[in-house]
């Protein structure tokens, strides 16, 4: 390396680092700009894609490359070795591999470049999907009541909890119950037992007694 060292020469303009930048730019199907202005050079990487936000690969990759160039420079100075673009490229690959093994990559990291991620055999963390279920209660027509029942069942102890509520056309509670079952055969038994208790109320009139037949 030259005795006189500048930021531009170290990180952008010497033959060895040019090979490094071209190697990784080819991944992103990108030609680095030929400029002496370092901010223009790295802005080109940042603005490479509309997805270039942290932690997108077009932002992460230049940072890792800079780090490995600096590490290689220090290695040469202190261990009297020859500056090597091949060693820098290998170290960048290794660091990306560590990121992959630590599950630090997300789908958004490689957005627009999933083919590269697949080719390198890297894995990424899948986003957590939250499923929202909208529950809408519809009131009955006057003068009917609507009865809703439910049950919970613990397979280890075979205990169950049952409950229900009857409401009128205005949504006002007319009658409600809850009970504990120390022994239940299975979740279906608990659900049917909840129906049986609910149907014993004089307010309730039903036409479907399938559940009652199951537990008799």
pLDDT per position as a tens digit, 178-213: 888 888 888 888 888 888 888 776 554 443 444 444
Work out the angle between the directed axes of helices 57-79 and 85-101 (0-180°, nearest 10).
130
Q: Is residue 173 part of a domain?
A: yes
Q: Does residue 125 sit within a domain?
A: no
In this structure, are 15 and 103 located in the same domain?
Answer: yes
Identify whether 2 is part of a domain.
no
pTM: 0.54
- Residue pair 164/150 in contact by the 8 Å Cβ criterion: yes
22 lies in the same domain as 110: yes
If you ran DSSP here, which 8-state letter would residue 106 be given? B
Residue 188 lies in a domain: yes
Are 166 and 69 found together in one domain? no
* Residues 91-139: tens digit of each pLDDT: 999 998 888 888 777 777 878 888 877 777 776 656 667 777 777 888 8
Task: Quote the domain boundaries for residue 109.
Answer: 7-120
Residues 113 and 165 in one domain: no
Q: Is residue 41 part of a domain?
A: yes
Name the domain count of the chain. 2
How many residues make up the chain in this entry? 216
**In this structure, what CATH number is given to the domain that contains residue 201?**
3.30.420.10
């Amino acid at each position: 390396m030259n005795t006189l060292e500048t930021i531009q020469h170290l990180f952008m303009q010497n033959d060895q680092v040019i090979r490094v930048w071209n190697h990784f730019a080819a991944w992103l199907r990108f030609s680095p700009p030929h400029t002496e202005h370092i901010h223009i050079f790295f802005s080109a990487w940042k603005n490479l894609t509309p997805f270039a936000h942290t932690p997108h690969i077009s932002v992460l990759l230049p940072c890792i490359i800079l780090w490995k160039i600096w590490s290689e420079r220090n290695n040469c100075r202190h261990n009297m070795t020859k500056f090597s673009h091949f060693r820098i490229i290998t170290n960048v690959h290794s660091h990306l591999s560590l990121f992959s093994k630590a599950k630090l990559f997300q789908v958004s990291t490689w957005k627009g470049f999933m083919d590269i991620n697949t080719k390198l055999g890297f894995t990424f963390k899948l986003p957590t999907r939250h499923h929202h279920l909208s529950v809408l209660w519809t009131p009955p027509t006057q003068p009917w009541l609507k009865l809703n029942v439910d049950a919970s069942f613990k397979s280890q102890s075979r205990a169950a909890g049952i409950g229900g509520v009857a409401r009128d056309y205005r949504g006002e509670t007319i009658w409600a119950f809850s009970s504990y079952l120390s022994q239940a055969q299975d979740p279906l038994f608990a659900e049917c037992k909840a129906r049986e208790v609910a149907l014993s109320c004089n307010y309730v009139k039903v036409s479907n007694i399938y559940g009652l037949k199951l537990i008799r």
